[in-house]
Amino acid sequence: MQPDPIYVVAAALALAVILGSAATHKLRSPIRFANQVEDYRLLPGALVRPVSRLLPWLEMAVAFTLLVPVSRHVGGIAAALLLALYAGAIAINLWRGRHDLDCGCAGPDQAQPIRAVLLARNAVLVGLALVASLAPDNRGLGVFDLFVVIAASAVVLFLYAAADGLMANGPRLLKLVGR
């Protein structure tokens, strides 16, 4: 059974916005992002700069492929792999006991320490990417369907932004209440 195209297109649109936004944050502040990549201590020093320059463009390319119906399947799988890679980098550093790292996911204006909750967030995003990679039912989308796609994508993006804001500000909020 193939999913309704509303689910697939809404998931793809929401992920494209998330990845495109993440890419622009990294492209606006390339030196800071390169330092964040280096802080993870997963790459040899010679690869840090090339990888930190490549990742934002890769995110942008994946975002674009999610928007094009012909390449959506590949884009969904690529997004799932990229998000799983990021989760793996976070998990390795949590396992090493390095909780003080900036995850690099909240943009240059908002540092966010790595925590286990980011692994759960990435798992949800991987699931969304896998939904976007599915071949939808062949029914065409009408005007009302397009409205539902945009509304569903907006809801996903609002929930993502709210959760991301809570995760980024969680340590500050705990300090305010004395924990």
Among 63, 60, 57, 87, residue whose Cα is nearest residue 75: 63
Contact 58, 82 (CB under 8 A): yes
Q: What is the structure's pLDDT at 112?
A: 80
Contact 113, 103 (CB under 8 A): yes
Tokens of 155: 């809801």
Among 29, 126, 24, 38, residue whose Cα is nearest residue 80: 126
Domain range spanning residue 167?
A: 5-176
Contact 118, 106 (CB under 8 A): no
Q: Which residues of 46-82 are buried (b: 16+ CB within 10 A; e: fewer)?
A: eebeebbeebbeebbebbebbbeeeebbebbbbbbeb
Q: What is the structure's pLDDT at 107?
A: 63
Q: What is the structure's pLDDT at 108?
A: 59
What are 137-156's pLDDT values in tens digits?
A: 888 888 999 999 999 999 99
Tally of domains in the chain: 1
Tokens of 165: 């804001």
List, run by run, the mean pLDDT of 10-residue segments along the chain (179 residues). 90 96 92 92 94 96 97 97 96 92 73 87 96 90 91 94 81 74
Q: What is the structure's pLDDT at 102?
A: 84
Count of other CB atoms within 10 angstroms of residue 146: 12
Which stretches does DSSP call E strand in the chain?
none
What are 14-32's pLDDT values in tens digits?
A: 999 999 999 999 999 999 9
Say whether pTM exceeds 0.85: yes
Tokens of 105: 């996911």
Count of other CB atoms within 10 angstroms of residue 85: 12
End-to-end Cα separation, the chain, in angstroms: 49
